[in-house]
């Protein structure tokens, strides 16, 4: 039987340790092709390149005999998926896997995440997709405890299929290589960022800003991704990309809009 074709991407860049670990894990499951940004693209959300040229080139980052085919791309994570599907792959992938992100994409972070936007781009095309994130922002994060759970989740998705219009947002607690306590399917916690701008001056006297902030959890529920992660569990949030607030349609229809 032909191995499943797995398109792997990320937002931290093609040389990021998280992606290198994910490539290794996915290579035990299927045929891997990598299309990933040539530089970090964190926080890009679902941005795409429309006002600039887009470049891609084949790269060799491993000397292993069965190393996967890899391409770097000058664009965003969403660009990588679009380019991979339309120009690079010779057949439709069985699944798209994004990550492993260095840092959490739980709760409201999913809105800003390039990792998850890559998965969502695949989902829009009707392809099963999963975004993986490890709750450790260090470049030297320990991904050794992630492999088995990542392989299990991807294998189950390939076996059972994915609900239509849905991708999976998987976050893994920082365990420093230890095995997580288990897996919980959750809802996204309600939260936001209390943001502020750190205003500074350059040596030339020109003002500039650094965005800073603190994560503010507004949700005490025990069925959320944040609660699962805080208690040592992997969280899986089924994530949809239909942004319609269906519950609000009737309310808005009651407005006096046509008189």
Alpha-carbon gap, residue 210 to 228, rounded angstroms: 31
Q: Which two tokens stand for residue 38?
A: 């040539």
CB–CB of 30/94 below 8 Å? yes
As a whole number of angstroms, the distance between CA 170 and CA 157 comes to 12
Indicate the annotated binding residues for a divalent metal cation: 11-12, 42, 101
Q: How far is CA 51 from CA 29, 44, 72, 135, 255, in A?
A: 38, 15, 19, 34, 39
| Residues in binding site | 11-12, 42, 101
What is the CA 107 to chain-centroid distance, rounded? 13
CA dihedral 130, 136, 141, 143 (to 10 degrees): -40
Structural element, H or E, at residue 253 = helix 249-253
At residue 54, φ and ψ (nearest 5 deg) are -120, 130
Instruction: With CA atoms as reference, report the closest residue to 102 among 180, 174, 186.
Output: 174
């Amino acid at each position: 039987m032909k191995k499943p074709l797995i398109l792997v991407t990320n937002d931290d860049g093609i040389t990021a340790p998280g992606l290198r670990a994910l490539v290794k894990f996915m290579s035990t499951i299927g045929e891997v092709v990598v299309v990933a940004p040539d530089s970090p693209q964190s926080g890009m959300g679902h941005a795409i390149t429309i006002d600039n040229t887009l470049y891609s080139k084949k790269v060799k980052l491993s000397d292993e005999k069965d190393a996967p085919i890899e391409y770097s791309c000058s664009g965003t994570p969403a660009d990588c998926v679009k380019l991979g599907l339309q120009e690079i792959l010779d057949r439709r992938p069985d699944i798209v896997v994004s990550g492993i992100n260095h840092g959490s994409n739980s709760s409201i972070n999913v809105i800003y995440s390039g990792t998850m936007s890559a998965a969502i781009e695949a989902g829009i095309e009707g392809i099963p997709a999963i975004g993986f994130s490890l709750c450790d922002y260090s470049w030297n994060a320990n991904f050794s405890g992630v492999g088995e759970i990542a392989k299990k989740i991807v294998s189950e998705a390939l076996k059972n299929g994915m609900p239509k219009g849905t991708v999976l947002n998987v976050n893994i607690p920082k365990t420093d290589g230890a095995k997580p306590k288990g897996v919980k399917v959750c809802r996204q916690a309600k939260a936001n960022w209390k943001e502020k701008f750190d205003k500074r001056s350059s040596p030339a006297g020109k003002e500039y800003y650094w965005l800073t902030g603190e994560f503010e959890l507004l949700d005490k529920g025990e069925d959320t991704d944040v609660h699962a992660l805080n208690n040592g569990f992997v969280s899986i949030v089924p994530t949809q990309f239909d942004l319609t607030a269906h519950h609000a349609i009737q309310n808005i229809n009651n407005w006096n809009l046509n008189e």
